[in-house]
């Protein structure tokens, strides 16, 4: 479910930012994701974002107007990315292991472009600033609604009858998240991710299948 916070900002289109070359846009976005992820909304410095992005102060405010609109642009951008990446998952495949694995690698693909994006989202989820909390709460609802599709119509007949399926799914999720976080910490660059990582996860996945699935 996509949310367009831009419409709530007086029909601001951010046309000057959107007309920039992709490399420059991504450089600005990454600088902003990094600073807000590190310091939160109130303490984040636009001067640091400007320096990291290698642009002038006038340019940043020309593109976004002010700090709040920059932050809401990032929220909107992140929410829409998450909504779109479910399109890359084969939901016709009802095996929960396959869905979670696909979700993890789509997430990793996004992080190749925006390394700090999910840290930004994590920080936003506990943001208490009254200036933007209402908008963050809307985004939370949107993301939760989108995430539910991952668990719709899964093939529960594959699970052992003595297994609590929801608890099993929680364990699968935690295992995949832990594996992903460990591998990300090892990386010098997200460009270094290759099929060997997928093969390694398959080993863990097969162990979990033996625990939770019928023979």
**Does residue 162 have a pLDDT over 80?**
yes
pTM: 0.81
Contact 201, 179 (CB under 8 A): yes
Q: What integer pLDDT is reported at residue 2 of this predicted model?
A: 47
Q: How far is CA 192 from CA 112, 115, 186, in A?
A: 9, 13, 10
Written as six digits, the tokens of 41 are 């909304």
Q: How far is CA 181 from CA 13, 85, 174, 185, 192, in A?
A: 35, 19, 10, 6, 15
Rg (CA), the chain: 19
For 15, the domain range is: 5-212
- Mean pLDDT, the chain, whole residue set: 84
CATH number at residue 144: 1.10.357.10
Q: What's the DSSP call for residue 161? A: T
Written as six digits, the tokens of 51 are 């320096």
Contact 165, 29 (CB under 8 A): no
**Total domain count for the chain?**
1
How do residues 65-124 score in pLDDT, each as one tens digit? 899 999 999 998 988 888 887 888 888 999 999 888 888 778 878 888 898 998 898 899
How do residues 175-207 score in pLDDT, each as one tens digit? 887 887 776 666 655 555 555 666 777 888 899
How do residues 163-181 score in pLDDT, each as one tens digit? 999 999 999 988 887 887 7
- Three-state DSSP class for residue 159: strand
At residue 154, φ and ψ (nearest 5 deg) are -75, 160
Separation between Cα atoms, residue 18 and residue 149, nearest integer Å: 30
> What would the mean pLDDT of 124-138 be, rounded to a whole number?
89
Written as six digits, the tokens of 92 are 């016709």
């Amino acid at each position: 479910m996509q949310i367009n916070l831009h419409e709530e900002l007086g029909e601001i289109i951010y046309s000057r930012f959107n007309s920039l070359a992709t490399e420059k846009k991504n450089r600005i976005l990454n600088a902003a994701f990094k600073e807000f992820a590190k310091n939160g909304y109130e303490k984040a410095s636009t001067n640091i974002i400007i320096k990291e992005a290698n642009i002038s102060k006038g340019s940043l405010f020309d593109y976004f107007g002010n700090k709040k609109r920059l932050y809401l642009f990032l929220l909107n951008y992140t929410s829409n990315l998450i909504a779109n990446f479910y399109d890359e998952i084969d939901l016709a495949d009802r095996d929960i292991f396959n869905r979670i694995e696909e979700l993890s690698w789509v997430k990793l693909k996004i992080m190749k472009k925006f390394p700090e994006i999910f840290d930004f989202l994590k920080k936003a989820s506990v943001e208490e600033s009254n200036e933007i909390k209402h908008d963050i709460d809307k985004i939370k609802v949107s993301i939760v609604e989108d995430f539910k599709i991952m668990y719709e119509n899964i093939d529960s007949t594959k699970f052992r009858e003595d297994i609590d399926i929801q608890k099993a799914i929680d364990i699968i999720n935690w295992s995949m998240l832990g594996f992903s976080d460990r591998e990300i910490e090892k990386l010098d660059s997200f460009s270094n991710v290759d099929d060997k990582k997928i093969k390694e996860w398959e080993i863990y996945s097969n162990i979990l299948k033996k625990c939770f699935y019928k023979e």
